[in-house]
Amino acid sequence: MAEARSDRCVNWGTATLGPNAFQIIDDTDAKKPVFELPYKKMQSVAKTKTDVIIETKCDITDLEDDECMLCEVRFTLPPTAVIAGKPEGKTTGEKTHILASHFEKKMVGGEDIELGDMVTALRNITLLAPRGVFTFELHGKQFKLEGRTSKNAKAVMEWLVPMKTLMGMYLLDASHKKPGLLWLCLCLSKAIRSGNQTHSCLVVEIGGEEVDAEDFGQINLEALTEEQKKRKTKTGDVMLTADMRGDPGAAIPRIFQGLSGADIIKPIAGKDPIACSDRAGKMGHLYLMEKSILFVPSPAVSIRLDNIELVTFDGISGGAGTAQVVFKVKATTHTFAGLEKADVPNLVAYVKAKNLPVTGLEVQPIGPLSDLDSSDASDQGSYSMSGVSEDSEDPEPKAKKAKKEKKSKKEKKEKKSKKEKK
């Protein structure tokens, strides 16, 4: 943009699109940049009819109490704006699209990255995290995610995600929500940010019905890299073929696996998902894997078992109410509440089988003596949460009894003294 801009009526200078950063150049003779935003510091791009919104990569862990951080930059393009070195758009909407596309190509690695030919597109895909309807444009080395979130339906959000950051995928049965429903969780090594929330797991909802898009499942084999062309399934079949139409529950995970090479992980057989809520009160389910625990749908949380330092159960005794479990992971904790008592034994058995350090299992449940072994009943009785045996006498009746006996003795003594006087 070869045009002066200002902030709060203070003229900054001329906005320019440099090779490695967006800059605002001083209009005086010095011609020095007074503001600079490197492309590699950009997290995501969104656009409206007149604005382009850049969200930056924010890490607040190193901030002091009195420090601030730039998290969002908004560009407003008037009809007279000119984008230097770019095709001239006739309308404001075209100009915002041109500028947003420029930032998208620049923000990964700080270099001008060409997407190349598109392998395939997945249109009108429902995501639960971030929640909204999106289109996946899948290319050989990266994929573009574009759509509108439920929180900001006016702005079109766009993320460019390198395929190498897709570390793994979870394929989950969500038939408790709807028969035949699947959730595909795409786990990223670099989280994307939507508003004030970051998402390291993209949760794709795959229904049991066929996809309406005409181009669904049509793969452009010429756009694949040599490594992607050679990838095969466990049965030895070529993973990506020219025509992959059919069941989306089988086709979509296979397409992502063929492009990224990431493994598809499924829950342990026989371990049903456990209904609960996270710290913010959002309902979801815990899925138990061989090497991790996953909470979905939004925001999805993946916890590796080798990172868990302690598991704490709370409220598992007694018959009524719900229980809570807390996973301590290094410097943070993940709390899940509202667990049904019927699901607790399944989770406890899983934690013990994985040899995880656990507390909160020491409290004996309240129950009749018949629930205990005959050898233990004579010694232990039945214990309540306070640790007082239910067979012991209540201290309050004892005090009343002692007071009554004392009063009776006093009355007897007074009667005896009266008789002696007579």
Backbone torsions φ then ψ of 122, nearest 5 degrees: -115, 110
Phi, psi of 220, deg, nearest 5 = -85, 95
What pLDDT score does 351 carry?
94
Answer yes or no: are the C-beta atoms of 316 and 361 closer than 8 Å. yes
Question: For residue 371, is pLDDT > 50?
Answer: no
Structure confidence at residue 395 (pLDDT): 41
| Cα separations in angstroms, 384 against 210, 321, 330, 398 | 56, 16, 34, 21
CA distance 56 to 53: 10
Q: Which residue from 52, 45, 225 is spatially nearest to 145, judged by alpha carbons?
A: 45
- The answer on pLDDT for 396 being more than 60 is no
Structure tokens at 226: 């040599």
> Given a cut of 50, is residue 267 above it in pLDDT?
yes
Mean pLDDT of 212-231: 83
Q: Report the range of poorest mean pLDDT among 83-87, 191-195, 228-232, 268-272.
A: 83-87
Q: Which of 184, 181, 192, 108 is nearest to 146 (CA)?
A: 192
Mean pLDDT value of segment 292-300: 89
Confidence of residue 379 (pLDDT cuts 50, 70, 90): very low
Q: Give per-residue pLDDT as tens, 86-138.
A: 555 566 667 677 777 777 666 654 444 556 788 999 988 889 888 888 999 99
Q: Dihedral through CA 313, CA 319, CA 321, CA 325, nearest 10?
A: 10
More confident residue, 309 or 16: 309
- What is the pLDDT confidence band of residue 329, given thresholds at 50, 70 and 90? very high
If one compares 159 and 381, the residue with the highest pLDDT of the two is 159
Look up residue 326 and give its two tokens. Answer: 């807390």
pLDDT of residue 211: 60
- Angle 115-116-117 from CA coordinates, rounded to 5°: 125
Q: Among 7-11, 25-29, 162-166, whose mean pLDDT is lowest?
A: 7-11
In a 3-state reduction of DSSP, which class is residue 325? strand
pLDDT above 70 coverage of the chain, percent: 68
Query: What is the sign of the dihedral through the CA atoms of 386, 390, 391 and 397?
Result: positive
Mean pLDDT of 297-307: 88
Residue pair 196/214 in contact (Cβ under 8 Å)? The answer is no
Looking at residue 185, its pLDDT comes to 95
∠ CA 88-89-95 to the nearest 5 degrees? 110
pLDDT band at 380 (very low <50, low <70, confident <90, very high): very low
pLDDT of 357 over the 90 cut: yes
Digit-coded pLDDT (tens) for 17-31: 777 788 877 766 667
Specify the pLDDT at position 131. 87
| Predicted local distance difference test score (pLDDT) of residue 106 | 65
Least confident of 39-43, 269-273, 377-381: 377-381
Between 345 and 70, residue with greater pLDDT: 345
